[in-house]
Structure 1
Amino acid sequence: MRQELIHVLYTYNNSFAPDNEPLGTIKGHEIDITLNIDRTYPPVLRRPAYPGSPRPREAFEKHIQELIQLGVLRGKVGDFQELNTYTVPDRYPIPRIQETLAQLSKAKFITSMDASKGFHQKVLTPKAKRLLIIITHCGIYEYLRMPFDIKNAPSNYQRMMNKIFPTQLSEGWLIIYIDDIIMCYDSWSLHLERLARVLHKAAE
């Protein structure tokens, strides 16, 4: 059984994100930010830099450099609380935990996977990039990929994942909770077949 599983994972090894390499992007699913037209959002670059006490500055600067290396950020992780108050909410539903647990309770085999820095794999539209600028003690930066703390990030990601895996979801053996993928099986042979299908789709 172990060798069969290793064979499937090796066959679709390009579905997995290598460490310390530029992060891949999800094709055809750019994210935009829709602002409330009844309110004027103040210019980002007129604001003071986000305050930073000496103790966490070193860790903050290291994180900034990691995001730049991954292609998530570029010179030009932020606090978007004010932007979120201007953003039109996305009401796309997130699965209920209770329903997910009920579905899992019937399975004999379960596989769980997490999208590596899933939100950061979503490319921003030019308009969204202009809004997602952060001013720090070590420079001005803009996001090129979706950050974790903007208002509609979870709903947007859930919608995208449901569009990528519609057949698998309709068959009832795949559960998607934002960037977590869970597969349920009644037999080991189904486990291998369905895992291969998901990994193949993820690599596209």
Structure 2
Amino acid sequence: MRGVEHSIQLVPDYRVHHQAPYRLSILEATELKRHLEELLRLGFIKPSNSPWGAPVLFARKADGTLRLCIDYRGLNRYTVKNSYPMPRADELFDRLEDNRFFTKINLRSGYHQIRVATEDQPKTAFRSRFGHYEFTVMPFGLTNAPATFQTTMNNIFRDILEEYILVYLDDILVYSRTLEDHIRHLRDVLQRLRKHDFYAKLSKCRFAQRKVNFLEHHVSDQGLHMDDAKISAIAECPVPTSAKQLRSFLGLTSYYTNFIQGYARYSYVLTSTLLRKNPPWFWTPLCEDAFRALKKAVTCAPVLRLPDFDCPFIVTTDASDFAVGAVLSQGKGVYQFTNKYGANVDGYSPIYTPDEWSATGDTYAAGTQGLLLWAVTLGALLLGGALLIFNTSALS
């Protein structure tokens, strides 16, 4: 969008930050040189004599290739933060019920399609063994870059957001109930992108599909599915041998807590002692059982139905001494969900399984009233004025 620029406003007492380059391996140095040549060719960077200078490092992608990163923590520390709200994935998914055709559009290096204001380009400078450069386009790693990009996308699609398009940064989902509507919707979206000079990466786009990947979920007219690649990654995780590895595993699984029945029970066993401050690492048979049970629960995760606000909702709750859980379901479909204490909810398909929480230190009432209050509070924005039916096995 040629009329949009990313600006970097600094706090009054800022200090110019510059840092010596990090040491790189031979492989990383070779990759850095290739990246610099490509960025220079595209005009995305230029030689700099700025007093600012962030170091360069690399992160490994899921496919094993290296991603160039700039460590902008020094600059971000003195940047006035933009509080523009980012979309919530669960709220976006709520809009997809009864839609059958989906198109996923991924913008090509989306951040690089927005320029940095000329006067702020020196602040983006970075140092490397191959020279000192600054960005002319918005780089990854700046604290306000997501806000600038999301603002731009929302402005382009404001009048049709959540009508037939969802936008999360550079991921765009167009959805429709009929193929005829979908063609019309897609034409509108593409014309807007063309008007504002945004370009998509064709190899990452999927057009008029019944099932697409969006925000690390498979979306279809049947509901939400966990991403197959993420399921495989979790299933193949080796037994952790340190707190750092355990945090990495739990971070991978926690994104899908809505799919995993009893998540709090499994994670509580793993976190209650092993992730306390400076604990001795002691992997017990109980930890092993919880670890394997959590991986199995991921591989058996259900399809979550998308909500139909014309039908009543079933709120099923349960509690233990250290956690509570709730399932929000509706009477469409034949999926049978069994809660963690064995009480069946026959003939209802789960919509969302809200996070369960450790009760240690919390002040919610231990009885049924407190449990229902917690469950309804979690679902209040989703449920609105819909008819609720409660099913609880917790005893006061």
Fold match (TM-score > 0.5): yes
Q: Is the 1:52–1:137 contact (alpha carbons within 8 Å) kept by the matching residues of 2? A: no
One of 5, 21, 45 as aligned partner of 1:73? 45
- Establish whether residue 198 from structure 1 lines up as the match of residue 189 from structure 2: yes
Query: Partners of 1:90 and 1:193 in 2: how far apart?
Result: 35
One of 29, 36, 45 as aligned partner of 2:4? 29
5 Å matches for 1:121-140? 121-140=113-132
Query: Partners of 2:170 and 2:97 in 1: how far apart?
Result: 21
Query: Partners of 1:115 and 1:128 in 2: how far apart?
Result: 24
- Give ranges in structure 1 of 5+ residues lacking alignment: 1-25
- Establish whether residue 186 from structure 1 lines up as the match of residue 186 from structure 2: no
- Give ranges in structure 2 of 5+ residues lacking alignment: 49-68, 196-396
Deviation >6 Å, runs of 4+: none
User: What residue in structure 2 maps to residue 11 of structure 1?
Assistant: none
User: What residue in structure 2 maps to residue 52 of structure 1?
Assistant: 24
One of 88, 92, 100 as aligned partner of 1:108? 100
Shift of 1:32: 0.2
Query: Partners of 1:43 and 1:101 in 2: how far apart?
Result: 41
Shift of 1:43: 5.5
The residue matched to 1:182 in structure 2 has which SS? strand
Paired letter, 1:139: G
Query: Partners of 2:187 and 2:27 in 1: how far apart?
Result: 46
Judge which range, 139-148 or 98-107, deviates more: 98-107
- Establish whether residue 42 from structure 1 lines up as the match of residue 42 from structure 2: no
Paired letter, 2:172: I
The residue matched to 1:48 in structure 2 has which SS? coil
The residue matched to 1:165 in structure 2 has which SS? helix
Aligned residues: 175
User: What residue in structure 1 maps to residue 85 of structure 2?
Assistant: 93
Shift of 1:49: 3.1
Give TM-score scaled by structure 2 length. Answer: 0.43
How big is each residue's C-alpha offset from its partner over 1:158-203, in whole Å with a ceiling of 9 and x where there is no partner? 011111111221x611111011111110110111111111111111
Shift of 1:146: 0.1
Shift of 1:156: 1.0
Give TM-score scaled by structure 1 length. Answer: 0.81
Q: Is the 1:33–1:127 contact (alpha carbons within 8 Å) kept by the matching residues of 2? A: no
Shift of 1:135: 1.1
Question: Cα 1:104–1:70, aligned 2, differ >3 Å: closer, same or farther?
Answer: farther
How big is each residue's C-alpha offset from its partner over 1:23-53, in whole Å with a ceiling of 9 and x where there is no partner? xxx210011001111x222254xx4334323
The residue matched to 2:40 in structure 1 has which SS? helix
User: What residue in structure 2 maps to residue 14 of structure 1?
Assistant: none
Query: Partners of 2:47 and 2:97 in 1: how far apart?
Result: 48
How big is each residue's C-alpha offset from its partner over 1:69-109, in whole Å with a ceiling of 9 and x where there is no partner? 22211222522111011111111111101111222243111
Paired letter, 2:10: L
One of 164, 176, 187 as aligned partner of 1:173? 164
Query: Partners of 1:178 and 1:156 in 2: how far apart?
Result: 9
How big is each residue's C-alpha offset from its partner over 1:86-145, in whole Å with a ceiling of 9 and x where there is no partner? 111111111101111222243111111011100001011122201011111001111000
Q: Which has the larger Rg?
A: 2
From the two aligned structures, give the one with the greater strand fraction: 2
Shift of 1:54: 2.9
Q: Is the 2:70–2:140 contact (alpha carbons within 8 Å) kept by the matching residues of 1? A: no
Paired letter, 1:35: L
The residue matched to 1:191 in structure 2 has which SS? helix
Q: Is the 1:119–1:148 contact (alpha carbons within 8 Å) kept by the matching residues of 2? A: yes
User: What residue in structure 1 maps to residue 342 of structure 2?
Assistant: none
- CA RMSD in angstroms comes to 1.5
Paired letter, 1:201: R
